[in-house]
Amino acid sequence: MVIGRLFDGLRRMRDERTLRRRPIPDDLWAVTLARYPFLSRRNADDLAALRDLTTLFLADKEFHGTQGLAITDEIAVAISAQACLPILRLGLHYYDSFAVIVVHPEEVVVTRQVMDDDGVVHEYEESIVGEAPGPGPMMLTWHDIAHAGEWAGVAYNVVIHEFAHVIDMAEGYEPDGIPPLPDRAARDAWAQVIDAEYERFCDDVDAGIDTLVDPYGSEGVDEFFGVTVEAFFVASDEFRGEHPALYELYANYFQQTP
């Protein structure tokens, strides 16, 4: 208890020093907000909190570019600001499980392995634009991040998607569409809402109905959580119309109404 309080106190002191010494320059912050209307439409309190949290995130994480992509301040702040949006009221500790973010210029092809029922391993190739950190680092592609302002209209956001997976896994389990919650009853209540919404969504996708939320969400409830958290933050009005129960659940959990 005393150690915990001491640790919290030290972290707070370190954070205050970071905010004093390494604030995000005004012009760079203005460029970031102009690029992403789903950020700039937030109220002054939210934006001030987001700028501070983004500053702390930048001090905490390491960015690496690949294939000749140089990580500029503009790229680092664009990623960090979007990553911090879901945890604006929850805190940076949700992202303590990893330190490195690798940024590719374009989507990348990765080789996957699956084992069939007979124990035979099959390899296949998959193009990806992002991957939440598992054994490896967080992976993102700049092309999709650069376009995230325009693509918010179709509820698409790769940064928020991958960081939603990190939040989902923050309690130390495999992703299951249930973020950290205080107790078993809260987990059961969450599962009841998201499972019902997921089933309804899969039915819509199977029936060929045009959904706001990316049909990729029908791959599993963990992906459904990822795509619906994207939609909640970047296309909130439309999302509320399509999934009012989930909107309510997320507004309470993230303590925000985007």
Q: What is the number of the residue whose Cβ is closest to Zn ion?
A: 226
| Identity of the residue, 15 or 131, whose beta carbon is nearer to Zn ion in the bound complex | 131
**Scanning residues 153 to 182, which ones bind Zn ion (CB under 5 A)?**
none
| Identity of the residue, 46 or 219, whose beta carbon is nearer to Zn ion in the bound complex | 219
CB of 9 to Zn ion, least distance (A): 37
CB of 27 to Zn ion, least distance (A): 33
**Scanning residues 210 to 239, which ones bind Zn ion (CB under 5 A)?**
223, 226
Q: Which residues of 96-126 are buried (b: 16+ CB within 10 A; e: fewer)?
A: eeeeebbbbeeebeeeeeeeeeeeeeeeeee
Closest CA to 82 of 220, 234, 223, 201: 234
Range list of β-strands (E), the chain:
62-65, 100-104, 108-115, 121-128, 130-131, 138-141
Closest CA to 164 of 110, 94, 109: 94
CB of 165 to Zn ion, least distance (A): 6
* Helix%, strand%, coil% for the chain, nearest 5: 60, 10, 30
| Identity of the residue, 130 or 258, whose beta carbon is nearer to Zn ion in the bound complex | 130
| Identity of the residue, 61 or 161, whose beta carbon is nearer to Zn ion in the bound complex | 161
| Identity of the residue, 31 or 212, whose beta carbon is nearer to Zn ion in the bound complex | 212
The residue count for binding Zn ion (CB under 5 A) is 2
Residues counted in the chain: 258
Footprint on this chain of Zn ion (rule: CB under 5 A): 223, 226
